Structure 1
Amino acid sequence: MTTRSTAERIVVVAAAAELLTVADAFSAVPLAVCAVALLALPLRRRLPLTTLCATLPSILTGHLWLPPMIAMVAVACGRSRPRIAVGCALLFAAAACPWPLGEFAAMTRQEVLTSIEAAALLSLGPTALGLLVATRAELRARLADLTATQRRERELESERAVVRERARLAREMHDTVAHHVGIIAVQSGALRAAEGAAGGDPWKRDTAESIRRHSVRALEELRDMVGVLRASDTGAALAAARTGLDTLRELAADSLLDVTADVTAPGAAPVRPEVECAAFRIVQESLNNVRKHAPGARVTVRVAPAPDGRSLTVEIRNTPPTPAPAAPAGSPVPGGAREPRAGGAEEAVPGGPAEAAAELPGGGYGLAGLRERAELLGGCLSAHPCPEGGFTVRAVLPL
């Protein structure tokens, strides 16, 4: 029960209790008049002026004073100046006139003045109280509007700050990452062209081409993400990113790992772009972690819908890391892992796969970011070591 409804009930009960003060003076007509006045009070919110007119006879007879005053408060809360003036005049007239009306001629001058003073108090008091209540309600409404406006201004300012920060990040990404990746792409392209023209080592030529292709792809994705940051369009990231389920096999083939990929796309309904993007990034980050922490491990990637067809399961499992096999003397090894020494011995060459993986920087936010991706879609992600060695990353994403 609200405070307002409780106060209204108390007022109505007080008006009814006023009958106890005149219980001995009741006759048929005053009883009917007082009954009408009390029964009309619940209508004062919807029909304030009508309720006032229905309660005026009770104050005219001198039996009930509270019902007309309560009705006058409701009239004044309406903030209609003509109705307030009419209601106040009617209440003043009813309070000033004696009952029966013929007694007015027998009243002395002092009694008339006293009656007029009492009528003024009885009519102006409820009117002022009603205006005060209406003003308070209006102030409360304006304060609520002001609070809402301030909240919207704070939200807009926060959005503007986010836009400025996104633009700053876009500039930093473009000016730093694009510079270094661009140099890598140009130099790898030049190396590939030089090896091809000189009839050099095919492995070096293919490696240079792979580096160039990945650098170009990184620049394309960087360009797309910079455009998304500058446009402040979060939905554009899904359209800009080349991260569909159909590219997972290509991702596995270019990972420089021993990967077995089993990708089964749901056939009943198309997968949401954000789910495809999350699945791609989970596989991509997991393969990156294998390169850094478990070089030489075999990896199994499985992406398939759940039996109920309501979620997509993404699982990446790798075996324990294995040392790179020794290469025959004088033969080129991918990544330059081994090089023959005098007497047929082999020596690890700086820049081999294991050493290069150990030099890759890591921020420690990979798995945390994957969990956030899954949770934002209403899914979950778990990552734990396997009992037989290795590591497993498993995510369930709702379709």
Structure 2
Amino acid sequence: MIHKKFRPWMRLSAEQVAVVCALCEPLTILDEFGALALVVCATALLGLPLRQRHPVTVLCATLPAMLTGHLLLPSVVAMYTVASTRPQLRLLWPCGLLFVAALRPWPMSIITEMTRTDLLNSIEEAALLSIGPAALGLLARARAESQEQLARLKASRAREQRLVAEQAVVRERARLARDMHDTVSHHISIIAVQAGALWAVETDPGRRTDMESIRRHSVGALEELRAMVGVLRGSGAVVATTTGHPRLVDVVELVTDSGLDITVDLPALAECPWPSVVETTAYWIIQESLSNVRKHAPGASVAVSAVLSQDGKSIVVVVRNGPAGRCPEVVGLPAGGHGLLGMKERAEQLGGHLSAGSDAEGGFLVRAVLPALQ
């Protein structure tokens, strides 16, 4: 088994192996080293590290070593780099230069001693040394371009799949909007109509007030349902122009219509202006807390407060209720268990936090700290 520290050495590319071989090639001509060999070999070897930036210049620098027959591999490596980095139409003259350098005999005097067979062998060798690395470079370049195109295709496919998923979400949201509108609005409309009809025939002032409150809340629920349906359908512009957002000042009306025994302390109302998203979140937290009191502690007394924090940068919303009191039998309200989770998420989205739990007196305490966003 190969040790881990040797694995990187096994990942050398073919070009890197060729470069190593080219650097070792001078060992084959140690006995023939002279002034000319030293100059041409040093020029060829020292130029190889620059082949990626200046491939044609490095190729020209290696040609004297090829011409004199001292070194062959530096020119081959340089030609491979030229072919893999330059446009195909601009390879003819570099490849021609390398072919001429590989074909021309050195010294020139031996040309008279060459037979036809020797000449043909020289042409074949020159063609292999010039056209061969050029073809390999073009092949490597085509492979790199294919991999790049494949990566682009994969990215395009991923984007297409993401768009398909988003479209599926949009369709599902539209379906949920239709179902919600058809089902919930039907029941709430019946409540509103029947409350209005009873209000019209009722003579007792107290009951008429209760029925009017039922009707008003039903109509408000229908309006909020319409706004939510618009959000699910993606018509945010319609929602923004047709519905408003509750503010802290609306807590007074919320408390009045709740039918609970509530004491209110809202000194934060005097600290203006607060960002609308902060006031809306505070309103929703108070509203959900009062709903939980009606569900889990009917008849309990409730204290609601919204005060400024000590550093003056946050609103501290507290809703505290005592233990459930004696009250007439009430209709059981459905509880999904998501109210506290939703309140925490609203607070955390603003960078605040919310805590909720039972207190020492047997009641329940909800405390939220909402920073004033700039």
Q: TM-score range by the shorter chain?
A: 0.7 to 0.9
Q: Equivalent residues in 2 for 1:192-341 (5 A)? A: 192-195=199-202, 200-231=203-234, 233=236, 240=243, 242-263=245-266, 264=268, 267=271, 270-271=274-275, 273=277, 275-309=278-312, 311-324=314-327
1:344 aligned partner: none
Preserved contact between residue 316 and residue 367 of structure 2 (Cα < 8 Å):
yes
Partner amino acid for 1:75? V
Q: Equivalent residues in 2 for 1:1-399 (5 A)? A: 7=13, 11-195=18-202, 200-231=203-234, 233=236, 240=243, 242-263=245-266, 264=268, 267=271, 270-271=274-275, 273=277, 275-309=278-312, 311-324=314-327, 352=328, 354-356=329-331, 359-398=332-371, 399=373
Preserved contact between residue 79 and residue 131 of structure 1 (Cα < 8 Å):
no
Counterparts of 2:35 and 2:271 in 1: how far apart (Å)?
Answer: 85
- Per-residue CA deviation, residues 248-300 of structure 1 (Å, 9 max, x unaligned), is 23222222212233331595874252x44433222211110110101121222
Counterparts of 2:217 and 2:12 in 1: how far apart (Å)?
Answer: 73
Give the TM-score normalised by structure 1. 0.82
Counterparts of 2:273 and 2:198 in 1: how far apart (Å)?
Answer: 46
Counterparts of 1:65 and 1:235 in 2: how far apart (Å)?
Answer: 76
Shift of 1:310: 5.0
Preserved contact between residue 221 and residue 241 of structure 1 (Cα < 8 Å):
no
Instruction: Name the SS of the counterpart of 2:137 in structure 1.
Output: helix
- Cα separation, partners in 2 of 1:213 and 1:13, compared to 1, 3 Å: same
- Cα separation, partners in 2 of 1:178 and 1:79, compared to 1, 3 Å: same
- Cα separation, partners in 2 of 1:268 and 1:99, compared to 1, 3 Å: farther
5+ long unaligned stretches in structure 2: 1-7
Preserved contact between residue 357 and residue 366 of structure 2 (Cα < 8 Å):
yes
Preserved contact between residue 266 and residue 304 of structure 1 (Cα < 8 Å):
no
Shift of 1:157: 0.8
1:337 aligned partner: none
- Per-residue CA deviation, residues 32-60 of structure 1 (Å, 9 max, x unaligned), is 22222222223322222222112111111
Counterparts of 1:25 and 1:313 in 2: how far apart (Å)?
Answer: 91
- Cα separation, partners in 2 of 1:311 and 1:111, compared to 1, 3 Å: farther
Counterparts of 1:249 and 1:62 in 2: how far apart (Å)?
Answer: 99
- Per-residue CA deviation, residues 65-111 of structure 1 (Å, 9 max, x unaligned), is 22211111111113512222222222122112222233223222222
- Cα separation, partners in 2 of 1:260 and 1:64, compared to 1, 3 Å: farther
Preserved contact between residue 265 and residue 305 of structure 1 (Cα < 8 Å):
no
Counterparts of 2:175 and 2:118 in 1: how far apart (Å)?
Answer: 84
- Per-residue CA deviation, residues 303-332 of structure 1 (Å, 9 max, x unaligned), is 3454445544333221111213xxxxxxxx
Partner amino acid for 1:68? S
Counterparts of 1:259 and 1:132 in 2: how far apart (Å)?
Answer: 82
Give the TM-score normalised by structure 2. 0.87
- Cα separation, partners in 2 of 1:98 and 1:313, compared to 1, 3 Å: farther
Preserved contact between residue 323 and residue 363 of structure 2 (Cα < 8 Å):
yes
Preserved contact between residue 230 and residue 238 of structure 2 (Cα < 8 Å):
no
Instruction: Name the SS of the counterpart of 2:275 in structure 1.
Output: coil
Preserved contact between residue 225 and residue 240 of structure 1 (Cα < 8 Å):
no
Partner amino acid for 1:319? G
- Cα separation, partners in 2 of 1:54 and 1:310, compared to 1, 3 Å: farther
- Per-residue CA deviation, residues 117-149 of structure 1 (Å, 9 max, x unaligned), is 222222222112211211111111111111111
Instruction: Name the SS of the counterpart of 2:114 in structure 1.
Output: coil
Counterparts of 1:54 and 1:266 in 2: how far apart (Å)?
Answer: 83
Shift of 1:28: 1.8
Shift of 1:217: 0.8
Shift of 1:167: 0.9
Counterparts of 1:111 and 1:100 in 2: how far apart (Å)?
Answer: 15
Preserved contact between residue 88 and residue 138 of structure 2 (Cα < 8 Å):
no
User: Between the two proteins, what is the percent identity of the paired residues?
Assistant: 55
Q: Cα RMSD over matched residues?
A: 2.8
Preserved contact between residue 266 and residue 305 of structure 1 (Cα < 8 Å):
no
Count of equivalent residues: 362
Counterparts of 1:234 and 1:307 in 2: how far apart (Å)?
Answer: 38
Preserved contact between residue 318 and residue 391 of structure 1 (Cα < 8 Å):
yes
